[in-house]
Amino acid sequence: MSDSAPHSTPPLRLELTASPGLAVMILAVHLGAAGCFLTVLTGWHGVALSVLIAALGGIAAWDRALLRSPYSPRALEFSRDGTAKCLFANGESALLQPLKGTAVTRYWVALGLGSPRRRSLFIAAGMLAPQALRLLRLWALWGKLPRVSSRQPAPGPG
């Protein structure tokens, strides 16, 4: 007989994929802000600020939507006890925390992170498969994943 727990199942792992649509949206918002600074400020101050805002948009899209940075999230892991963590490209991880309020919609989920580098995580619909996004939304709303009862009968012949 082994001493391992009878219910020692591996954690559920949801792999994240890049979202080009979110990257375009991030970049468009930053380019719009850069254009606003160009129209309001004159001289080299306006040009410098608009270039910096546009560059910030490119960096944010690279890290948050295209997931190309070493600090970008790569996967979410949910343990059997209901805790979850985010795994980053550089091998680090941080605990996930559901946020209250309007942090969950049909198209995206916002989560808190226990990380000194990043305080929140935004997952858009295109970053997970539809079923995986559904599981993430359920966890973000209720703090646990749905389970099948051990007493539930197996489906019969159809």
- Enumerate the domain spans of the chain: 12-142
Mean pLDDT across 28-32? 98
Predicted pLDDT at 50: 96
**Residue 155 pLDDT greater than 70, yes or no:** no
Six-digit token pair at 26? 């991030």
pLDDT, tens digit, 9 for 90 and up, residues 36-64: 999 999 899 999 999 999 999 999 999 99
Predicted pLDDT at 101: 78
pTM, to two decimals:
0.79
Confidence of residue 7 (pLDDT cuts 50, 70, 90): low
